[in-house]
Amino acid sequence: MAPFVVGVTLLLTAGVADGRAAPKEPRSPARLELVGIPPSHSPGDELNIALEVANRSQEVIEGFSLNVSVFERVDSRSTLHAVFDEPPAFEDSSFGKDYERRLPPGASTTVVLEETTEEISVLAESDDGGVYPVKIELFDSEHTSFLDDKPVTVPLIYYPSEPQTPLNLSLAMPLNNIPRQDPQGAFPAAAGARSPLEEAVAPAGWLTQTVRVLRRWTAAEPEPAAPTGPPRGTNRSGGRDTPVPPGGRGPGDRETSGRAPGAPGGIRLALAPLPRLVEELASMREGYRRVAGGATTQLSAGSAGAVGAEVLLRRLDSLLARPSVQPMVGPYSFASLPALEGSFGFPDGTAGQQQLTVGERVLDNVLQTEFEPEWVMAPEGRLDVTSLESLKLGNRGDMTLFAEDSLRSPANPSNAGCPEGSPSFACPVSTRTEGGATTGYVIDGGLEVRFEELARPGEDALDLQKLLAETATIWAELPGRSGRVVHVTAPATWRPEPALMEQLFESLATSPWLTTVTPSEGLDGAQPPAARALVERLPASEAQIEAIPALDLGSAHATIESLSAFGAPDSLVDRLRRNVLVSQSSLWWGEAGLLEQGAEYAGGAEDQANDEMRLVRVGAPERITLTSRTGRVKLEVFNDAAYPARVELVLFSAPLNLNERIVKTIPAGKQLPLTIETAAKTSGTFPLSVTVETSDGYAIPGRSTDVLITSTQLNRIALGLTVGALVFLVFFYLSRAIRRRRARPREDGAGAPAA
C-alpha cells in the first residue's frame, strides 16, 4: 500500500473558566499497545504483530487506521537504544491499514498485521539478519489526526537465512525473597490472611509457579504446562477480536509449544537459591507459627503451608539436579560482599566469610544437591579486590560473575569489548589478586536493564522483544565468530508473571541466533579469557550509604559471640548469628520501612542474647559487717538457664584491697555459693562492686551490683598511738600525784612551831 502522511496533533484542555481544576483528560483519545509478536521472522513469514487499541476518551471511536513504517537494520547497540527512545525519521517501507470497528468509551479491540515479509521491500531485499525497527502509528478513520500521539516502535528480528554461528547466552538466576520469618521464628501475616511465604508456596503462588516454569523449560522431556491466567493479547475488558497471543499462536497451542532441552533450543542456566529462603521453607515444612493480629497460631506439618513448602523443596532439589541447571551458591542473605568489608561494624574479611559459610551449610543440610564453592554468585556481581581476596582466603571464588563497574576501564576505550573488535563483552574474563586467579563473566549491563524492565508492570510484549533485540544486535556485531558468550544475571528480586516467564523461555529456546549455556559450559570452547584488573574498592552505592547508619551491626555481632562464650547451645547462637546476617542483606536497601525491618533482626538478636545471659544473677545481702581485720564475703550465683553457664565474677573494692576475677561454671537451674576471703585496710562503710561478665570480658547488662561493707576493725597504728598516749597520760598523772604526796610532809614539818 502507498504510504500516507498526516500531521495534525490533538489539543488537550487543562482547566475550566471558573478556575477549578478540571478532570485530567488522557493525552490522546486512544491507546495503542503491542500485545504479541513472534520472536523472529524468516522469508515468507507473516508479521503476526498483534496490537490492542483501547478507547480512553468519552466519545465513540468510529473506526481507526494504522500506518506501519519499516526501517533499515540497526548496525549497533547504541543505534538500537536510540530507536527505542525515538523512531528513525525516514522509513524504507510503509503501508497503511484501515479498520471499520466501532469502539465505545472504555472498549478495546485487538488487530493483527498479517502482511508477509515478502511484501515489505526492506526485508525482502535484505541479505543481513538482525533488528529492523517497525513504527506503528494510530490515526482516526479519516487519517487526519492521531488517536494516540505516541507511536509503538517494535524491534522486528528478521533473518534471511538461519544463522550458522549462534551467540552463546549464559543466564544466571537468583531465586530470592525478602526474609519472611521474623526474628522470633514466626511467620507474620495480616489479620485473617496467610503469611507471604504461605502465599508463595500455594499452588498459584509466585514461588511455586517460578519453579514450575523452570522445571518445564529445563526438563529432558517436555512437561505439560499448568494454566497461568489469560494468555497475552487478551484485552483488559476480557474480550478479544482476534485470538493471537505472543508468537501468533492460538491459546491452546501456547501451553505446549515450548521445546524442552532434550530438543534443539532447550534452556540451560545457572540457578542460585537464596539460602535464607531455603532455610525458611525447611522451617515451614516442619510445622510453624503464624502471628496475625496479635494472635499466634501453631500449624502442624500437615497444614497447607507446610505441605506446600515440602513439595516446593522436593521440586527445587530435582530441578537443581538436572544437567541443564548449574547450581550456584551465594551469601546467606544476599548481602553485598564489598559492603560487608568494614562498613557495618564488622572486622574486615569476617562477615563475607560468615555469609558464604552459613549459606553453604544451609543448602547442604536442606537440599540433596551438591553445591561447589568454585562458583560464587556475588549479589549484582559487585566485587572488588578486597572482597574477592576475602573469598579466596576461604578457598572460594575461583569462578564468579562480575558487574561492569567491578573492572577497571582499559586505557583505550576501544579495547573494552571482547573478543577483539567486538563492542560488547562476549567472552570470559580473567583477573588476579594476591589470592590467585579468578575466571568468570562480565554481566552485560544492557541485557540486565532489559530483564529489569521485563519484571516491571508495563508493556510486557514490547519489553520482551526489546530484550531479544538486544541479543540479536550483539550477535550481529560479529555474526560469524564462534565461541562468543554473553552473560546476564537476572535482577535480585526478579519476579515476572509466570505466563511472561514461559514466554521468555520459549523465545530464548526458539531464537535461531541464540544458544543458552550454563556458565561452566560457556567456558568450554569459548574465546580465550580477557585479562582485566579489578577496582581496588567499589564506591558505596546511594542505597548502601543510606543503610549504613541504620545497620550498624557490630554491637549485635559482638554480643552474640559473648553468648557463645557464656555457654549457650550452638543451635541458639547459630540462630541469632543468622538473624544478624539477615540484617546485612542488601534486599532491605532502598526503602526506609524495609531498613527498619531489616535492623530489627540484629536488634532483636542482641536483645535476646542479653536476656539469655541475664539468666545468671548474683544474690548478696545489702550490707556485710566485718568485725575483724579479715573476714568473709558470702555470695550466691543463680543460673536460671536450661544449660550450664560459664561466667566470670569481677569483685572490686579499693578499701578491701580486693580486685579479683573468679571463673565459674554454674550448672543448669542451680545456685552456687561463693565465699571470698578479704581484709579491710580501714574502718568505715564502703561499696564492694560485683559484676558478672562472660569469659571474653563482656559485662552482662543489668548484672552488676554493689554490696555495702562496714568494717569495725581499727587501724593497728592508730590503736598503738592511742594506747601509747593513754599509757603516757596515766603514767604522767600518776607520777605527778606521787611527787605531790611526797612533797606535802616536808612542807608540813618545816612550818611547825618549836616545842
Alpha carbons 648 and 613: distance in angstroms, whole number: 12
Residues 58-80 have a mean pLDDT of 95
Question: What does the angle CA 11 – CA 16 – CA 22 come to, to the nearest 5 degrees?
Answer: 80
Confidence (pLDDT) at 737: 67
Q: Report percent pLDDT > 90 for the chain.
A: 61
Alpha carbons 612 and 602: distance in angstroms, whole number: 15
Three-state DSSP at 133 gives strand
30-158, superfamily in CATH? Immunoglobulins (2.60.40.10)
Mean pLDDT of all residues in the chain?
A: 84
Provide the whole-model pTM: 0.82
Question: What does the angle CA 260 – CA 262 – CA 267 come to, to the nearest 5 degrees?
Answer: 50
DSSP string for 495-559? ---HHHHHHHHHHHHH-TTEEEE-HHHHHTTPPPPEE-PBPSSPPPPHHHHHHHHHT--HHHHHH
Does domain 616-711 fall under CATH 2.60.40.10? My reply is yes
Confidence (pLDDT) at 11: 30
Confidence (pLDDT) at 147: 96
Residues 499-514 have a mean pLDDT of 94
State the residue for C-alpha cell 560464587. Answer: 376
Tens digits of per-residue pLDDT, 453-477?
A: 998 888 999 999 999 999 999 999 9
Task: Give the residue among 312, 337, 216 at the shortest CA–CA distance from 269.
Answer: 216
Tens digits of per-residue pLDDT, 290-317?
A: 999 889 999 999 999 999 999 999 999 9
Cβ atoms within 10 Å, residue 155: 23
Tens digits of per-residue pLDDT, 514-564?
A: 999 999 999 998 888 999 999 999 988 888 877 777 666 788 989 999 999
Alpha carbons 158 and 511: distance in angstroms, whole number: 11
Confidence (pLDDT) at 222: 53
The top-scoring range by mean pLDDT among 7-11, 13-17, 47-51 is 47-51
Tens digits of per-residue pLDDT, 332-342?
A: 999 999 988 76
Confidence (pLDDT) at 624: 76
167-186+199-217+273-531, superfamily in CATH? Glycoside hydrolase 38, N terminal domain (3.20.110.10)
Least confident segment among 124-128, 498-502, 525-529, 589-593: 589-593
Domains 167-186+199-217+273-531 and 616-711 share a fold: no
Residue 88 has pLDDT above 50, yes or no: yes
Tens digits of per-residue pLDDT, 183-235?
A: 999 999 998 899 999 999 999 999 999 999 999 999 876 555 544 443 333 33
Residue 663 has pLDDT above 50, yes or no: yes
Question: How many angstroms separate the most distant Cα atoms in the chain?
Answer: 182
Q: Report percent pLDDT > 70 for the chain.
A: 83
Confidence (pLDDT) at 678: 75
**Residue 113 · residue 56 · CB < 8 Å:** no
Residue 66 has pLDDT above 60, yes or no: yes
Confidence (pLDDT) at 208: 97
Confidence band, pLDDT 50/70/90 cuts, at residue 349: low
Confidence band, pLDDT 50/70/90 cuts, at residue 435: confident
Say what the alpha-carbon torsion angle 390, 392, 395, 397 is, to the nearest 10 degrees. 110
CB within 8 Å of 464: residues ≥ 6 apart? 246, 454, 500, 503, 504, 507
Least confident segment among 292-306, 655-669, 706-720: 706-720
Cell of 685: 562503710
Which residue(s) pair with 693 in the sheet?
648, 699
Task: Give the residue among 489, 378, 486, 517 at the shortest CA–CA distance from 438.
Answer: 378
| 442 vs 630 pLDDT, higher one | 442
Alpha carbon separation from 88 to 69, 133, 304, 746 (Å, rounded) = 10, 8, 55, 149
**Residue 206 · residue 523 · CB < 8 Å:** no
Cell of 454: 521485563
Task: Give the residue among 658, 640, 654, 647 at the shortest CA–CA distance from 692.
Answer: 647
Alpha carbons 48 and 116: distance in angstroms, whole number: 9
Confidence band, pLDDT 50/70/90 cuts, at residue 425: very high
Alpha carbons 599 and 556: distance in angstroms, whole number: 10
Residues 245-250 have a mean pLDDT of 34
Q: Where are the beta strands (DSSP E) in 630-729?
A: 630-639, 645-653, 658-666, 671-679, 684-693, 699-711
Confidence (pLDDT) at 2: 36
CB within 8 Å of 746: residues ≥ 6 apart? none
Cell of 201: 508456596
Residues 693-705 have a mean pLDDT of 91
**Residue 581 · residue 352 · CB < 8 Å:** no
Alpha carbons 386 and 649: distance in angstroms, whole number: 41
**Residue 88 · residue 74 · CB < 8 Å:** no
Give domain limits for the chain: 30-158, 167-186+199-217+273-531, 542-579+591-613, 616-711
Confidence (pLDDT) at 342: 63
Residues 91-104 have a mean pLDDT of 92
**Residue 600 · residue 188 · CB < 8 Å:** no
Confidence (pLDDT) at 619: 86
Residues 702-717 have a mean pLDDT of 71
Tens digits of per-residue pLDDT, 578-617?
A: 999 999 999 998 877 898 899 899 999 999 999 999 999 9
Residues 144-162 have a mean pLDDT of 95
Alpha carbon separation from 142 to 64, 138, 336, 506, 541 (Å, rounded) = 8, 11, 58, 40, 53
Alpha carbons 333 and 344: distance in angstroms, whole number: 15
Confidence band, pLDDT 50/70/90 cuts, at residue 141: very high
Confidence (pLDDT) at 462: 95
CB within 8 Å of 718: residues ≥ 6 apart? none
Taking each continuous run of H as one helix and of E as one strand, the counts in the chain are: 19, 28
Confidence (pLDDT) at 374: 85
381: DSSP letter: G
Lay out the sheet containing 288-292: strands in order across. 187-189, 288-292, 295-299
